[in-house]
Amino acid sequence: MARAKLPRKSTHIDMTAMCDVAFLLLAFFILTTKFKPAEAVSVTVPSSVSDKAAPESDVVLITIDKDGKVFLSMDNEEKKEYVANTLENEKGIKFNVQEFKKAQFIGVSFSKLPEFLAIPPEQRKGDNMPGIPCKDSTNNEMKEWLRIIKSAYMGQKMNLLVKGDNASKYPSFKNVISAFKYNDLLKFQIITNPVNVPIGSELYKQAKAGLAVKKDG
């Protein structure tokens, strides 16, 4: 008697397709990942519900680290050169303009600038620098810096950013603001980490209402 034999099926699965997808994703993530550049001044920023992306060009960034030290950095090299030349003319300090243009941040007083720029860039760490003096009205070099930068950006848009550490005390922030006010720079932006709007809050309701209106219209 012939019994119908079920053919034995192999348990192997063709994994080619899965492999394709996996490596496609892998390629995507490898290509889109940008490693964070090592920062000379490490700062943990506070969070806010704001969702405006930070500007990327013509940035004048003022960093306040956890000890309340203030640093300055700019991204536009032309403006930096202008600032450097103005500084040399006004203050009579001689320093390496090329090195100044390349410097990631400035963290010393005017008088120490030549020594600061003589340090190799990779050894310039915010922790070892005294920061730009802006303690009080008598010795607030931030005012000077901002005045020169403002004249460098004359008639052009400049993005004034403040990036402060969570743990820094308020007075250093206040000093920076007073330097802004002194120079009539009344609009600036604070760098924050985005968080979601708390559910049930006024803004949340407003955003929902706004969405509903948009849907109707």
Partner 1 sequence: MAEMDTSSGGGHKKGTGVKKSKKMSTRVDLTPMVDLGFLLITFFIFTTTMSLPTTMNLFLPKDTDKPEEQNKIKDNSALTILLSKDNNVFYYEGMLDNSNVSQNFKSSNFGSGEDGIRQVILRKKASTDEKDFMVVIKPSDECTYKNVVDILDEMTIDVVKRYAMVDISEVELQLIKATEAAAGNASN
Interface pick for partner 1 out of 39, 98, 139, 198 (rule CB under 8 A): 198
Q: Which is nearer to partner 1, 121 or 171 (CB)?
A: 171
Region from 1-9, 50-58, 136-144, 208-216 binding partner 1, contact rule CB under 8 A: 50-58
Under the binding rule (CB under 8 A), the answer on residue 208 touching partner 1 is no
Q: Which of residues 146-175 bind partner 1 (CB under 8 A)?
A: 161, 164-174
CA dist 13 and 49 (Å) reads 48
Alpha-carbon distance values, 61 to 75, 161, 178 (Å):
9, 5, 16
Least Å from the CB of residue 137 to partner 1? 13
- Kindly give the pairing relationship between strand 159-164 and strand 70-74: unpaired
- With b meaning 16 or more CB within 10 Å and e meaning fewer, what string describes 109-146? ebeebeebbeeeeeebebeebebbbbeeeeebbbbbbb
Interface pick for partner 1 out of 82, 112, 135, 188 (rule CB under 8 A): 188
Under the binding rule (CB under 8 A), the answer on residue 25 touching partner 1 is yes
CA dist 81 and 92 (Å) reads 15
Contact call for residues 60 and 74 (beta carbons, < 8 A): yes
Least Å from the CB of residue 113 to partner 1? 26
Under the binding rule (CB under 8 A), the answer on residue 9 touching partner 1 is no
Residue 191: closest CA among 39, 33, 35, 30: 39
Under the binding rule (CB under 8 A), the answer on residue 118 touching partner 1 is no
Alpha-carbon distance values, 124 to 44, 97, 191, 216 (Å):
19, 17, 23, 56
- Kindly give the pairing relationship between strand 70-74 and strand 59-64: antiparallel
**Site for partner 1 (CB under 8 A): how many residues?**
56
Q: Which is nearer to partner 1, 1 or 53 (CB)?
A: 53
Interface pick for partner 1 out of 38, 51, 57, 157 (rule CB under 8 A): 51
Footprint on this chain of partner 1 (rule: CB under 8 A): 12, 15-16, 18-19, 22-23, 25-26, 29-30, 32-33, 45-55, 64, 161, 164-174, 177, 180-181, 184, 186-194, 197-198, 201-203, 206
